[in-house]
Amino acid sequence: MNRPRIAIAGFQHETNTFTPIPTPFETFEAGGAWPGLQTGSGVIDTLAGLNIPIGGFIDAADEFDLMPIAWAAAEPGSYVTDDAFDKISGMIADGIAATNDVDGVYLDLHGAMVTQSHDDGEAEILRRIREVTGSELPIAVSLDLHGNMSREFAERASVTTIYRTYPHIDMAETGARACKLLREELRRGEPFAKAWRQLDYIVPIQAQSTRREPGARLYGMLPGLEGNGVSSVDFVFGFPPADVPACGCSVFSYGTDQNAVDAAADTILAALKAAEDELHNPLVPAADAVADAMTVACEASRPVLIADAQDNPGAGATGDTTGLLATLIEAGAQSAVIGMFWDPETALQAHAAGIGGELDVAIGGRYPQLGTGPLKARVRIEALSDGCFVFTGPMYGGATANLGPMAALRILDDGADVTVVVGSNRTQNADQAIFTHLNIQPPDQAIVCVKSAVHFLADYEPIAEKVIFAESPGANPCQLDRIPFTRLRQGVRLGPNGPAFSGSTRSSLSV
Ligand SMILES: [Zn+2]
């Protein structure tokens, strides 16, 4: 057999339908934590070797001739505009159409894209690609663990692989597994038998970590189900802040024996149902979180971590709400640090004032509809940076940050000792280097607060005495039964043992 010719492309977005941050074409062009839009040979030149799915696919594809088409990813935010979606999906579909004699396609997708016109962006991308490839061409897709997948998507993809870790430390590995399965399908010359199942309740995001049970156990089951006619089994836990019918957890299984494939999917679905009581949401009110942290910190030699989970920019939140910061000051927290606030204006003011300077600032709070305004305080500038530094944690380690002007600001308050880190490009704090490059050593603090929901655990949990998930305002609503969903599928339950969705939820969004 000649070397198979494989078109490769990517289009990643995690859409939070409750956030005020828009997602136009420019955000894909610019990129964020990942590189900006790539086309043609730039796809391989820029992305090979990175710990992202397409990087893993490229590195594993030594038996293939790769035809790089286009790849784009943007920071999580609100609906992808029709303009952005049409342009990028058009580049991919047209690029595949223009490539002669392709034997297969690999797509690096997230799995939670919602556009202005399409509830399920990935199903629509595949529909447009299938228009040019026909229904038979093998299309392998890798997905984030936070996908919200529909039956249409499951039908249009030939085979999928999904991250098995949260924090996501196996992104490249997941791309490599897609490569292996595509190779298997091409060698056999016939499509996989498939199974797809949808769980009947939505799993809260803080309950999804694979550093905790039952996530570790559930994802740990997957490799053991492979073999005897089953080539792979995976599941998405889902991305809850997305008001679309496919929101939630679903299971994918592939192989050569339909009965075995169905049985493997049913085994995981049954395990997810059996784990319902364990998948509870650990969020506590911010005041309780801070009080608990202060009590524990008195006796501990290591810091207490508080996650400002609902303001996690990694889930599309603004990264600038001030609820937890205000609570720290009010409670008189000592030796506390919090960051990163997305606040380019305050960062610029700090740079103008210089290290050691004191000034009055209004930190964050630019979206009053989220329930907090700016926090006004007098601060002293402790450290400054241009936001370019190298990440050091297990998730982003080795990648270079580009967060624009940044500053460490000590709040001048008689009762509290709190330092705030502000930056200019919105990003979640999942890496200690955000603090350490500003001379703040997290292990030396009593309380460390991060604007992140779960990803911070990979780098921060090993240094922590305790981790607390706090509930304070933000555009990543985590209390499922209080989110004003209107478009979920009928009957899906809002969290483990939660009420069934029936058209709309009872109360308005309180975050
Ligand atoms: Zn994810």
3-state SS, 87-152, equals HHHHHHHHHHHCCCCCCEEEEEECCECCECCCCCHHHHHHHHHHHHHCCCCCEEEEECCCCCCCHH
> 171 CA to middle of ligand 1, Å?
10
172 neighbors 51 (Cβ within 8 angstroms): yes
Distance CA 32, CA 39 (A): 17
Q: How far is the CA of 15 from the centre of ligand 1 (A)?
A: 11
Going from the Cα of 219 to the center of ligand 1, the distance in angstroms, rounded, reads 14
Cα dihedral 72, 235, 155, 5 in deg (nearest 10): 50
| Residue 144 alpha carbon to ligand 1 centre in Å | 5
Q: What is the CA radius of gyration of the chain?
A: 23
Averages of pLDDT over runs of 10 residues in the chain (511 residues) are 92 97 95 86 94 96 97 96 98 95 97 98 98 96 98 98 95 97 97 98 95 97 98 98 97 98 98 96 95 97 97 95 98 98 98 98 96 96 96 85 95 96 95 98 98 95 97 93 93 95 58 35
Rounded to the nearest angstrom, the distance between the alpha carbon of 315 and the centre of ligand 1 is: 8
Distance 439 CA to ligand 1 centre (A): 29
Task: Please give the pLDDT value at position 1.
Answer: 59
> What does residue 272 show for φ and ψ, rounded to 5 degrees?
-65, -40
Report yes or no: 468 and 206 within 8 Å, Cβ to Cβ.
no
pLDDT, residue 508, reads 40
Q: How far is the CA of 506 from the centre of ligand 1 (A)?
A: 28
Q: 47 CA to middle of ligand 1, Å?
A: 19
Asked if residue 443 lies in contact with residue 302, where contact means CB atoms within 8 angstroms, the answer is: yes
CA 146 – ligand 1 centroid, Å? 5
CA of 452 to the centre of ligand 1 (A): 12
* Those residues with Cβ within 8 angstroms of residue 92's Cβ, 6 or more apart along the chain or in another chain: 9, 11, 69, 70, 107, 125, 128, 129
Residues in the chain: 511
In the reported structure, the alpha carbon of residue 376 is separated from the centroid of ligand 1 by a whole-number distance in angstroms of: 34
The full set of domain ranges for the chain reads: 5-278, 284-471
- What is the reported pLDDT for 394? 86
**Model pLDDT, residue 34:** 81
Say whether 504 sits in a helix, a strand or coil: coil
Distance (angstroms) between ligand 1 centre and the Cα of 433 equals 21
First-last CA distance in the chain: 58
Rounded to the nearest 5°, which phi and psi values hold at 121?
Answer: -60, -40
pLDDT at 504: 61
For residue 4, the CA-to-ligand 1 centroid distance in Å is 31
What's the CA-to-centroid distance between 165 and ligand 1, angstroms? 9
d(CA 164, ligand 1 centre) in Å: 10
Task: Give the C-alpha separation, 214 to 216, whole Å.
Answer: 6
Q: Are 283 and 470 in contact (CB under 8 A)?
A: yes
Task: Tell me how far the alpha carbon of residue 446 lies from the centroid of ligand 1, in angstroms.
Answer: 29
On whether the CB atoms of residues 477 and 321 are closer than 8 A, the answer is no
Query: Token pair of 501, please?
Result: 């969705």
User: 21-32 in b/e burial notation, b at 16+ Cβ within 10 A?
Assistant: bebebebbeebb
Per-residue pLDDT at 506:
45
For residue 105, report the distance from its CA to the centre of ligand 1, in Å.
23
Q: What is the pLDDT of residue 304?
A: 98
Report the distance separating Cα 238 and Cα 246, nearest Å: 9
What's the 493 CA to ligand 1 centre distance in angstroms? 21
| Distance of alpha carbon 264 from alpha carbon 261, whole angstroms | 5
CA of 170 to the centre of ligand 1 (A): 11
Output the CA 145–ligand 1 centroid distance in Å.
5
Block residue for tokens 């599309």: 316
pLDDT of residue 485: 96
- How far is it, in rounded angstroms, from Cα 400 to Cα 386? 12
Q: What is the pTM of this model?
A: 0.92
The answer to whether 334 touches 326, Cβ cutoff 8 Å, is: no
Helix, strand, coil proportions of the chain in percent (round to 5)?
A: 30, 25, 45
Cα of 7 from ligand 1 centre, angstroms: 25
How far apart are the CA of 244 and the centre of ligand 1, in A?
Answer: 17
Strands annotated E in 166-320: 193-198, 230-236, 250-255, 284-285, 304-308
Cα(168) to centroid of ligand 1, in Å?
7
Cα of 381 vs centre of ligand 1, distance in Å, is: 34
298 CA from centroid of ligand 1 (Å): 35
Q: How far is the CA of 350 from the centre of ligand 1 (A)?
A: 33
> Ligand 1 center to residue 455 CA distance, Å?
9
Q: How far is the CA of 367 from the centre of ligand 1 (A)?
A: 25
From residue 410, give the alpha-carbon distance in Å to each of 299, 318, 355, 377, 499.
Answer: 24, 22, 11, 10, 44
